[in-house]
Amino acid sequence: MRADAKKNYDQVLAVAAEVVAEQGADASLRDIARRAEVGLGTLYRHFPTREALLEVLLRTTMDELTRKATDIEATCAPDEALLTWSRLAVAFTHTFRGVVDLMATAMDDENSALHASCTKVRADGARLLLRAQDAGLARKDIDGADLLSLIAALGWLNDQPSFAPRAAHLFDVIADALLIAKPHSP
């Protein structure tokens, strides 16, 4: 990449991070280009779709989430691992407003820049869920897609001012539904 191109790319990304943090995933691309002091065409050259731009903004955090899945699996009991990771996954959806809708759309679109990352998150969750199920600690009538749906639904609640205050408590309620109480040791 040419030096001037690289500079524009970085500038757009930096400004986009700010604007998206303020206004969410549907922030005006025109506004981002303007604040980045870059032609609108330049933004489109580097990021052919809105999702391509947001994908870069999310990549670091998503990679971290995957890394943490491995860590947690290695260090926690199956039930605790499932819950801890699920909590992190919900927290990830609060990177900025609209992440959850973005994920839902990406899951349904093979061509989305975010499709692979979202599938990875689902796979990580499925693995932790299966581990808890095998240990007899999680109910067996749900799968990775169900888990991701629940995480997304809880993430959506957090995006709504009127429902957000309930999200943390409802996470616990739903967690209760997923886990099977461990019988007390004698």
Partner DNA sequence: ACCTGAACACCGTTCAAGT
Confirm if 118 and 107 have CB atoms less than 8 A apart. Answer: yes
Our finding on whether 177 is near a second copy (CB under 8 A) is yes
Binding flag, residue 156, a second copy (CB under 8 A): yes
| CB neighbour class for 4 (10 Å; exposed up to 12, middle 13-18, buried from 19) | exposed
State yes or no: residue 44 binds DNA (CB under 7 A): yes
The yes or no reply on residue 173 touching DNA (CB under 7 A) is no
Contact present, 128 and 72 (Cβ < 8 Å): yes
Question: 55: burial class by Cβ within 10 Å (0-12, 13-18, 19+)?
Answer: buried
In the complex, least distance from residue 2 CB atom to a second copy, rounded to whole angstroms = 39
Q: Please tell me whether residue 140 binds a second copy under the rule CB under 8 A.
A: no
Out of 13, 104, 130, 180, the residue judged to bind a second copy by CB under 8 A: 104
Binding flag, residue 107, a second copy (CB under 8 A):
yes
Q: Which residues from 94-153 bind DNA, rule CB under 7 A?
A: none
